[in-house]
């Protein structure tokens, strides 16, 4: 049985969180966190994913993980 992500508690938290972040500039996020590029980048072999230039923070990532758990996405990776 699939879970509708928009009907989860995590989604509601993400909606609230979005309202907190939507007015922040990417520049201000970098100014407040000098290690932002390192904190929000992942390298897999020769491929680098850089999320630092998106309007997110550590709480955003935590909420996205919570959403993935509520939607039982781990079951789809095995």
Contact present, 29 and 17 (Cβ < 8 Å) = no
Q: Say yes or no to pLDDT of 64 above 60.
A: yes
Taking only the tens place, the pLDDT of each residue in 9-47 is: 999 999 999 999 999 999 999 999 999 999 999 999 999
- Structurally, the chain folds into a number of domains equal to 1
Go through the chain and tell me how many residues it has.
Answer: 78
pTM over 0.85: no
Q: Say yes or no to pLDDT of 78 above 60.
A: no
Contact present, 11 and 67 (Cβ < 8 Å) = yes
According to DSSP, residue 74 is labeled G
Query: Which domain, by its residues, includes 26?
Result: 5-76
């Amino acid at each position: 049985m699939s879970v509708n992500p928009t009907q989860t508690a995590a989604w509601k938290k993400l909606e609230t969180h979005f309202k907190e972040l939507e007015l922040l500039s990417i520049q201000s996020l970098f100014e407040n966190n000098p290690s932002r590029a390192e904190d929000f980048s992942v390298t897999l072999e020769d491929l680098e994913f850089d999320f630092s230039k998106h309007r997110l923070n550590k709480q955003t990532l935590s909420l996205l993980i919570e959403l993935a758990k509520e939607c039982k996405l781990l079951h789809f990776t095995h």
